[in-house]
Amino acid sequence: MSATLKYGELTGEILNAFFTVYNRLGFGFLERVYENALAYELRKRGYRVTQQAPITVRYDAIVVGEYFADILVDGKVIVELKTAERISEAHVAQLVNYLKATGIEVGLLLNFGPKPEFRRKVFTPSKKSV
């Protein structure tokens, strides 16, 4: 990942760990297996990892929803995992909504499907007011 990208080095390391886990485990396990393996791999590399990080959605200061991001790395990058045939627009929307709800600007959507694939999303403060 380019150093000009926000948290480019960190997201590059997360992607490296993703491909390491995918190459070792392959396709076919439940999402939770990949979550545990990726969290372990990232911790081995010295990152602070929170699994099932709580996300609260507020509307006029009222809690209207609660979700859990699969992994939060160093408090800076939300990592959402999938085990689907391919990444869908609904998967991307889920990640973007997590970014909106938390104020965290960078997210990675990692799919441990038949072919490994990822999407990197950035939600900037200027977009938050929309």
Domain ranges within the chain, ordered by starting residue: 8-128
| CATH class (in words) of the domain with range 8-128 | alpha beta
Per-residue pLDDT, 4: 80
Alpha carbon of 54 to those of 20, 48, 68, 105: distances in Å?
Answer: 26, 16, 5, 16
Q: What is the pTM of this model?
A: 0.90
22 near 37, Cβ under 8 Å? no
pLDDT along the chain (130 residues), means of 10: 78 99 98 99 98 94 94 98 98 96 96 98 68
Per-residue pLDDT, 126: 63
Rounded to the nearest 10 degrees, what angle do helices 8-25 and 31-44 cross at?
130
